[in-house]
Amino acid sequence: MKKLVFTSALAIAISAAAAQVNNPVYNNPYPRTINVTGSAEMEIVPDEIYVQVTLSEYEKKGSGKISIEAIQKKFLEQCKSAGIPDSLISIALYQGADRLYWQQRKKKTPGMMATISYIIQFNNMQKIDAMVEKLDDEATQGFYIVKTPHSKIAQFRRQLKIQAVKEAKDKAIYLAEAIGEKAGAAISIQEPVEYSIMPVYKNAAAANMMLRESAPYADATESGNIDFKKIRLKFEVQTIFALQ
């Protein structure tokens, strides 16, 4: 029994010693380090503006109901005259896409109005203004800004992450020099944390009202025109460097 207890105790001691050797806490090649935070930020003006336009049938005095087909045709012609290619226009919603169901439903409720929504991609406010002037006020039921990203947002994020890491390295160097030390090899670099503020826009009952009353959500350019509020990107990275 004594031999068994002694053997078990020896095994535990060897295991503990091995754990200490393999544990970075007990086998740290960099006992002296400096922890710093690097950051980088920028502001960019959105160059992709997605707008949802909702059109609906309506009754016109003396002409009766204006069909959704006629409204669609006119709308697409208006887009073309505003210089918007078909590739930047897509259907977001079409109430009654199932033709059989739609026809049966319309027979039961002949006064029901058909509705269709389009998503249009713009790249500046001026083109939106030009499109708004061409819209049929009677058919247009909604004009909403859905999102405002940037076509090179991934490239900007990569660029800022690199800048944040370089800024951390520069900070480690001058902070170490302040106490007569030198910053050595990087021990740890964490994935940069992103702090981004995307512009947000309110819905409006009418397109012209929305565009003209967007001051809290937009910036004035040097020419006095209203443009979209900038997207602010900011990255922070935690780094650890060895002290030499």
* Residues 77-86 pLDDT 10s: 999 988 899 9
pLDDT at 62: 79
Tokens 């009952």, residue located: 205
Tell me the CATH class for 49-147: alpha beta
- pLDDT at 231 (0 to 100): 85
CA neighbor of 53 nearest in space, from 97, 116, 114: 116
Residue 203 has pLDDT above 70, yes or no: no
Q: How far apart are CA 234 and CA 244, in angstroms?
A: 31
pLDDT in tens, 162-191: 999 999 999 999 999 999 999 999 999 998
User: CATH topology of 28-46+150-244 equal to that of 49-147?
Assistant: no
What's the distance, Cα to Cα, between the start and end of the chain in Å? Answer: 53
Q: Which of 9-18, 54-63, 114-123 has the lowest mean pLDDT?
A: 9-18
How far is C-alpha 50 from the geometric centre of its chain's CA atoms?
Answer: 12
What pLDDT score does 79 carry? 92
Contacts 24+ apart (CB under 8 A), 83-88: 83/127, 83/130, 84/120, 84/122, 84/127, 84/131, 88/120, 88/121, 88/122
> Domain 28-46+150-244: what homologous superfamily?
Protein of unknown function (DUF541), domain 1 (3.30.110.170)
Average pLDDT, rounded, for the chain: 76
CA dihedral 195, 199, 200, 204 (to 10 degrees): 180
pLDDT of residue 197: 55
Strongest mean pLDDT among 2-11, 75-84, 234-243 = 234-243
What average pLDDT does range 38-57 have in this prediction? 90
Pair of tokens at residue 89: 């226009």
Mean pLDDT of 21-40: 75
- Domain residue ranges in the chain: 28-46+150-244, 49-147
Task: Identify the band that residue 21 occupies on the pLDDT scale cut at 50, 70 and 90.
Answer: very low
pLDDT of 92 strictly over 90: no
Instruction: Indicate whether 16 pLDDT > 90.
Output: no
Mean pLDDT of the 23-42 span:
79
Share of the chain above pLDDT 90, in %: 36
Q: Look at 6-15, 57-66, 213-222 and tell me which has the smallest mean pLDDT.
A: 213-222
pLDDT at 108: 57
Q: Is residue 3 predicted with pLDDT exceeding 60?
A: no
Share above pLDDT 70 across residues of the chain, in percent, rounded to a whole number:
68
pLDDT for 15: 52
User: What per-residue confidence (pLDDT) applies to 186?
Assistant: 94
